[in-house]
Amino acid sequence: MSNEWDLFISHASEDKDFVKPLEEKLTNAGFKVWYDEHILTLGDSLVQKINEGLAKSKFGIVILSPNFFAKNWPQLELDGLFSFETAGEKKILPIRHNIEAESIRRNRTLLAGNLDVKSILGKHDVNSDLGRVLSKGQERRKYVFG
């Protein structure tokens, strides 16, 4: 199965103030982003649409926050992303937002080994880190995040 999306963004709806500008920057950089506000429409099956998005995305950006850990849906999305990761091939790109690494270790021990980027460093740093991962082999996108 070929990937239809470059990125799936998993987040709690309460964090849209951070997520929306990030999604816009990624979209403007030419990435095809699975983002709930653009994909889900009235009458859609949430389970079906989310499963399709997870399965057909090359990477999953996971916005880890207190809101994320307080809700079931985002954690189910993270479980789905874990199921698609294979040895040596990363799929999960975690971003810490308003949460410390120790809180993440307490909530999701398996994420403790994943290098993340902290949103408080500023959107430029987040964009730069994401840009390095996403631009590998995609020269036309490499400098958009600079």
Query: Active site includes 37?
Result: no
Query: The sheet that has 57-64: what strands, in order across it?
Result: 33-34, 5-10, 57-64, 92-96, 117-118
Q: List C-alpha distances in Å: 111 to 6, 8, 36, 65, 119.
A: 21, 18, 23, 13, 17
Tell me the two tokens of residue 60: 């999953």
Which of 24, 37, 52, 77 is flagged as catalytic?
77
Tell me how far CA of residue 44 lies from CA of 39, 69, 79, 108, in angstroms.
9, 25, 21, 29
Q: Which helix (H) or strand (E) holds 83?
A: helix 72-84
| Sign of the dihedral through C-alpha 62, 63, 64, 68 | negative
Catalytic annotation, residues: 77
